[in-house]
Amino acid sequence: MIFENIITSLHGEGERKTGLITLNRPKQLNALNDALMDELGSALRAFDADAGIGCIVITGSEKAFAAGADISAMAKFNLTDTYGSDFITRNWETIRSIRKPVIAAVAGFALGGGCELAMMCDFIIAADTAKFGQPEIKLGIIPGAGGTQRLPRAVGKAKAMDMVLTGRMMDATEAERTGLVSRVVPLAELMSVALAAAQSINELSGMSVMMAKESVNRAFEGTLADGVMFERRLFHSLFATVDQKEGMDAFLNKRKPVFVQR
- Least distance in angstroms from the C-beta of 69 to ligand HXC: 4
Of 86 and 221, which has the nearer Cβ to ligand HXC? 86
Catalytic, out of 54, 108, 113, 114: 113
Q: How many residues bind ligand HXC (CB under 6 A)?
A: 20
Q: x/- string (CB under 6 A) for ligand HXC, residues 67-96?
A: xxxxxx---------------x--------
Q: Taking CB under 6 A as the rule, does residue 60 contact ligand HXC?
A: no
Q: Taking CB under 6 A as the rule, does residue 31 contact ligand HXC?
A: yes
Q: Taking CB under 6 A as the rule, does residue 109 contact ligand HXC?
A: yes
Give yes or no: 39 in active site.
no
Give yes or no: 189 in active site.
no
Query: How many angstroms separate the most distant Cα atoms in the chain?
Result: 65
- Least distance in angstroms from the C-beta of 60 to ligand HXC: 12
Give yes or no: 176 in active site.
no
Of 69 and 160, which has the nearer Cβ to ligand HXC? 69
**Residue among 157, 43, 152 nearest 100 (CA):** 43
- Least distance in angstroms from the C-beta of 80 to ligand HXC: 17
Of 79 and 252, which has the nearer Cβ to ligand HXC? 79
Catalytic, out of 43, 54, 116, 198: 116
Q: Taking CB under 6 A as the rule, does residue 120 contact ligand HXC?
A: no
Cα 15 → chain centroid: 23
Give yes or no: 93 in active site.
no
HEC assignment per residue over the chain: CCCCCEEEEEECCCCCEEEEEEECCHHHCCCECHHHHHHHHHHHHHHHHCCCEEEEEEECCCCEEECCECHHHHCCCCHHHHHHCCCCHHHHCHHHHCCCCEEEEECCEEECHHHHHHHHCCEEEEECCCEEECHHHHHCCCCCCCHHHHHHHHHCHHHHHHHHHHCCEEEHHHHHHCCCCCEEECHHHHHHHHHHHHHHHHCCCHHHHHHHHHHHHHCCCCCHHHHHHHHHHHHHHHHHCHHHHHHHHHHHCCCCCCCCCC
Piece of 104-112, 183-191, 212-220, 232-240 that binds ligand HXC (CB under 6 A): 104-112
- Least distance in angstroms from the C-beta of 103 to ligand HXC: 21
Of 63 and 262, which has the nearer Cβ to ligand HXC? 63
* Cα separation, 161 vs 152, whole angstroms: 8
> Which are the catalytic amino acids?
69, 113, 116, 136
The residues binding ligand HXC (CB under 6 A) are 28-29, 31, 67-72, 88, 109, 111-113, 135-136, 139, 143-145
